[in-house]
Structure 1
């Protein structure tokens, strides 16, 4: 038999041999080295770890990690609900919520030292929890929540299960969290479980339109679109937002409107973005879920400490807003507390000795955790409820770099504010300008918007991004642009202390039919500094924000501006507690774009800026009134 025939015969025999009857086939072997039952490994952080899926009132189960100090008994429970993966909150990378040491690099040292049972839970529809996911869902009973559950009911049901099933607990429960987790720490206050004894919302998302994540006074934070895509596309929150650009400024400029960019990246398919698109104004959708408004309508039953960062780059509005809403209900003065430090978003949970180029002379975050957070939690969560010495307001005063213990905030009411006038020739002062009305003008061009920081603008969470510190960036980066007008005092001969909320009173006209206005309050360091020469001339933004002109008359209803007619714009800047030292100067900058953080105003009125077309983007001449009866000013909360 020749070779081809031999090979053919061999293949035939093999085929025949492999064709055994179905009943004689051998079951496939799973080749693995993983044990059938994972071993119980002692936790390096001194906890016994339990993982349970807790049923809610509608049958949905929420994935929950329970960490109990070894050998613990009669312990308070401190829980955090999160969309950011409960499994990863306690482990090799504890994310600031549970750390073994007190070295200042993590935020939970007093929590760990306190010996609390820590509970982490995935919210509905995220990671390993069942159910559907809705971003910051509206409370039950509002028109925008068709279900009978929300984050308040889920927290209630979780606490109820915990106090009945965790035998090591003393039945006292607290809740805390940062950012979205801070929002989730506010929701349980709507109808609190009797076992909920304290809440510590840190940098909470409170009002997404007025001044937290999604809008600031109507201007859309378009660089949050990658977050929306990641959070909503999958339960694992792992969908990337790829642009192919290393400079967000270039990418967003070429992309056109925020709506066009959303369509090009798939963000427009996300349910939450569709709501943003449908509700660009401050209508009932936003108002019904603004947590300061929601909680203002509820009885005050649970002590709460609101934690704020004075340079919070993401949620600078929320904590002070809830404090303002709740404090009038605190008739005894022992239910509503406020802490505010010189921090970026969540920095209280890490090292707090500096923010960008600005140094505070001490680790402010570590001091706060030890002296404020630790005794506060212990008082409410430990069975013996040790006495605490925590002031109603604990706030850091920048400029002198010292902590203050106060009875209330702000120390200067709006009615007592001092006017800081914008004057001709770029002057700035506490007395009005002499003479008749005058204006100073500049041209705002959407084709060349003012960057919110030095380019290239790295994507927010890209490697090497310094997003956390942009609010303290040196404003000299833009102060020389012709479309940024600057007003400045001379060197101060005595300190000027401000403690409260600066309020902008801008009188201005535009040749367009819509306009944005950005106003910055800045501390200008003197030149010739000997201690730190790198800070000579530094322009530190103390407080700044943006206002979309179409909402001048009503936040809930957009209206075109009358071209070339001076109009008044009034809006608050974020709160400050700062001392402008002698030798420093006070500066105010005014501009009409803050890009790419905020989407460009086309400066032509269109019903919905998300749908603006390229032809709608036009140059506009902006004129700011700097003398006369309508002179622009900032109502500054000066301590006298």
Structure 2
């Protein structure tokens, strides 16, 4: 997300590996300059410039704009790692960081994901104009620059790179939005209307509305949960409206309050959808993301698709690896939780993809040998190149739920067939089977055996596969459901079931066995009240069969011979998703204890009312 966690992970990277190597290199080879750059409306933005000490040659510029602070402040204080990676730092670039308007040392008013203006008039400003004005100043005032600029950013800075695409300054020749926030309602705050609870509550106490801009007051004190058990904490918190009184920072935070006040996809959120504005882009773009990005998976895929659809002919590269949020920028990328990917995917990306991309477009080094889509296939653990994404060779098929909890590509034939479970919001299904206070980064590959053993989770699975089955592209859940309540959440999980003789790997937890492991491959939620419209929610009519359809986002995963494909369906996934009271209320975020009730949810798998997942099979 606009993730504070990502910020601290970067610091950790800089203070671990970088402290003894990269930090020394940075200090020996770079000097720092701090300036205020004036925008067209007179507002001045604080900018840190890291210049190579060797002034005998010229260098291209790499620019990142951020709401997370360009710290450390002071011309004598240096970042431990300068630029996107140690590899690029050593290649020689002028690297520029800027506090966006209204944040930290920059002047002006901050607006969360400031709306883009397509038809600008005199005096109009947005992130694209601030990007243009910044680049204009840099190329005119930095004495030994080549006149070529590249942009990059991860998460919230990824949004600023994405919004800066439309600056179209002639010096901007390469941009890389990485895990970019794109549509705040669908990305970070709500997934099809289901609120991402620890993801947001863990973030906003840090991302408060600062007016003093004192760099010494870096971040507020860590949020005190009072217990390491997030399940217990959020259950005891009760209805979400209680959060406003829980801490002073949350109660006063306009961004947290905005999330609670706007549960529907209204004009507040629509204005913050940058995907509607990716027009007229003329330079090379490389969108980067991770299959296991719990924060901005939607933003990654939709940003690539938006640029591709609106700007035919430009070089729009797409890179996705087996990474968590920002995982490609640090570490090795060879493991996640109990899953081992067999190779150092992150270091490969930094050296063989990102470095080559910027060096080619900014320095003219190397060859333009980039495939349209460089994707890591999980399950078989290998990189694959495609000329488009999703690959045209992937054929759409329906994976049907069937009687007796069977999953098959064969359509159900029963005249009457359904499965039911009782959903109790006071005893929600845990999103993890271990103790954690927030949203663990590995939850997207976690073992799901704890869920399949619960009576309030429906579990369907195929027979043992006789051949590999590779899914490539997005997945759509198409459910036929009914409920005894007037609202309900439906969470769908696609799972790779390992054989009963699967061997442990070197990173398997001590209390875990990979034999029979149920690895989550993809999951997503739908708040049922939004099944017909994300703008205007409507209640369910109790016991009436209705359609609930939603996208689970893309995968490139091979279910290997000897494995099974499993689908789980449930109505709680706590605390990662806040609880639905299962009673229709205008705004769930202000529901009372009395609104929460049990309900029986029914999923139909009969000839007239077939439930299925539409998948893309690449074999």
User: TM-score normalised to the size of structure 2?
Assistant: 0.89
SS at match of 1:44: helix
2:102–2:108 contact (8 Å) kept in structure 1 = yes
- Contact 2:32/2:48 (8 A) holds in 1: yes
Indicate the residue corresponding to 1:168 in structure 2.
Answer: 144
Q: Does 1:78 align with 2:29?
A: no
1:436 aligned to which of 415, 420, 434:
415
Q: Distance in 1 between matches of 2:392 and 2:201?
A: 37
Q: Deviations over 1:327-368 (max 9, x none)?
A: 134433x42111010100001101211111111111011112
Q: Indicate which of 115, 118, 123 corresponds to 2:100.
A: 123
Structure 2 matches for 1:379-394, cutoff 5 A?
379-382=360-363, 384=364, 386-394=366-374
Q: CA deviation at 1:530?
A: 4.0
Task: Say if 1:375 and 1:390, in contact at 8 Å, map to a contact too.
Answer: no
- Match among 171, 181, 189 for residue 195 of structure 1: 171
Q: CA deviation at 1:270?
A: 1.7
Match of 2:398 among 419, 432, 442: 419
> 1:615: how far off?
0.5
**Deviates further, 42-51 or 75-84:** 42-51
Q: Is 2:25 the counterpart of 1:49?
A: no
Question: Is 1:639 aligned to 2:596, yes or no?
Answer: no
Contact 1:260 1:610 in 2 (8 A): no
Q: Is the 8 A contact 2:168 2:281 kept in 1?
A: no
Instruction: Find out whether 1:521 has 2:497 as its counterpart.
Output: no
Quick check: 1:540 aligned with 2:519? yes
CA drift of 1:43 comes to 4.8
Deviations 1:478-503 (A, max 9, x none): 22111111001111111001100011
**Deviation at residue 249 of structure 1 after TM alignment:** 1.4
Distance 1:421 1:376, change over 3 A: same
Q: How far does the alpha carbon of each residue in 1:123-160 deviate from its partner, in whole angstroms, 9 at most, with x for none? A: 122222222222212124799x9983222221111111
Task: After the TM superposition, list the runs of 4 or more consecutive aligned residues in structure 1 that deviate by more than 4 angstroms.
Answer: 89-97
- 1:215-261 deviations in whole A, cap 9, x for unaligned? 11111112212312311243445224333232221121122222221
Report the equivalent of 1:257: 239
Give yes or no for the alignment of 1:159 onto 2:135.
yes
Map 1:623-638 → 2, pairs under 5 A: 623-638=602-617
Match of 2:478 among 496, 505, 510: 505
What is the deviation of 1:117? 0.7
Q: Could you tell which deviates more after superposition, 237-246 or 55-64?
A: 237-246
State how far apart, in whole Å, the 2-side matches of 1:166 and 1:552 are. Answer: 53
The answer (yes or no) to whether the contact 2:35–2:47 under 8 Å persists in 1 is yes
Contact 1:142 1:288 survives alignment (8 Å): no
1:454 CA drift (Å):
2.0
In the alignment, the residues of structure 1 paired with residue 237 and residue 94 of structure 2 have an alpha-carbon distance, to the nearest angstrom, of 48
Question: Match for 2:457 among 474, 479, 484?
Answer: 484
Length, aligned pairs only: 579
Alignment of 1:578-593 (within 5 A): 578-593=557-572
In structure 2, C-alpha distance between the alignment counterparts of 1:88 and 1:199, rounded to whole Å: 25
Distance 1:321 1:93, change over 3 A: farther
Deviation, structure 1 residue 58: 2.2
Inter-CA distance 93–244: structure 2 relative to 1 (3 Å threshold): farther
Residues 1:96 and 1:631: Cα distance change in structure 2 (over 3 Å): farther
Matched, 1:601 2:580: yes
Q: Is the 8 A contact 2:431 2:575 kept in 1?
A: yes
Deviates more, 1:230-239 or 1:315-324: 230-239
Q: Distance in 2 between matches of 1:147 and 1:262?
A: 37
1:279 — aligned with what?
A: 262
CA distance change for structure 1 residues 68 and 432 in 2, over 3 Å: closer, same or farther? same
Report the alpha carbon displacement of residue 370 of structure 1 after superposing the two structures with TM.
Answer: 1.7
- In the TM superposition, what is the alpha-carbon distance from 1:277 to its structure 2 partner? 2.8
Are the structure 2 counterparts of residues 324 and 271 from structure 1 closer, same or farther at C-alpha, using a change threshold of 3 Å? same
SS class of match (1:114): coil
Distance apart, 1:412 and its partner CA:
4.8
Q: How does 1:188-337 map to 2 (within 5 A)?
A: 188-210=164-186, 212-223=187-198, 224-234=200-210, 235=213, 236=217, 238-240=219-221, 241-266=223-248, 267-295=250-278, 298-332=279-313, 334-337=314-317
Q: Is the 8 A contact 2:334 2:341 kept in 1?
A: yes
Cα deviation per residue 1:574-597 (whole Å; 9 max; x = unaligned)? 200011000001000000011112
Alpha-carbon separation, structure 1, partners of 2:123 and 2:416? 57
Larger Rg: 1
- Give the alignment's TM-score, normalised by structure 1: 0.86
Contact between 1:412 and 1:637, CA under 8 Å: does it hold in 2? no
The answer to which of 48-57 and 604-613 deviates more is: 48-57
**Match of 2:110?**
133
Distance 2:189 2:78 in 1: 28
Give 1:184's aligned residue: 160
Quote how far apart the aligned CAs of 1:429 are: 0.8
8 Å contact from structure 2 (residues 334, 346) kept in 1? yes
Helix, strand or coil at the partner of 2:96: strand
Distance in 1 of aligned mates of 2:46 and 2:92: 23
Q: CA deviation at 1:42?
A: 9.4
Contact in 1 for aligned 2:499/2:563 (Cα 8 Å): yes
Alpha-carbon distance between aligned partners in 2 of 1:529 and 1:43, rounded to the nearest angstrom: 46
| Change in CA separation of 1:428 and 1:93 when aligned onto 2, cut-off 3 Å | farther
Q: Does 1:622 align with 2:601?
A: yes
Compute the displacement of 1:308 (Å): 1.3
Alpha carbons of structure 1 residues 94 and 555: separation in structure 2 relative to 1, 3 Å: same
My pick for the range that moved more, 272-281 or 400-409, is 272-281
CA-based RMSD: 2.4
How has the CA–CA distance of structure 1 residues 237 and 589 changed in structure 2, closer, same or farther, with 3 Å as cutoff? farther
What is the distance in 2 between the residues matched to 1:526 and 1:91?
57
Could you tell me which residue of structure 2 aligns to residue 343 of structure 1? 323
Q: Which runs of 5+ in 2 are unaligned?
A: 1-23
Shift of 1:456: 2.3
Question: SS where residue 245 of structure 2 aligns?
Answer: helix
User: Contact 1:66–1:117 (CA<8 Å) still a contact in 2?
Assistant: yes
Distance 1:512 1:391, change over 3 A: same
Partner in structure 2 of residue 447 of structure 1 = 426
**Secondary structure of 1:574's match?**
strand
* Alignment CA distance shift 1:226-1:360 (3 Å): closer
Summarize deviations over 1:605-627 as a string: whole Å, max 9, x none.
Answer: 00011110111000000000022
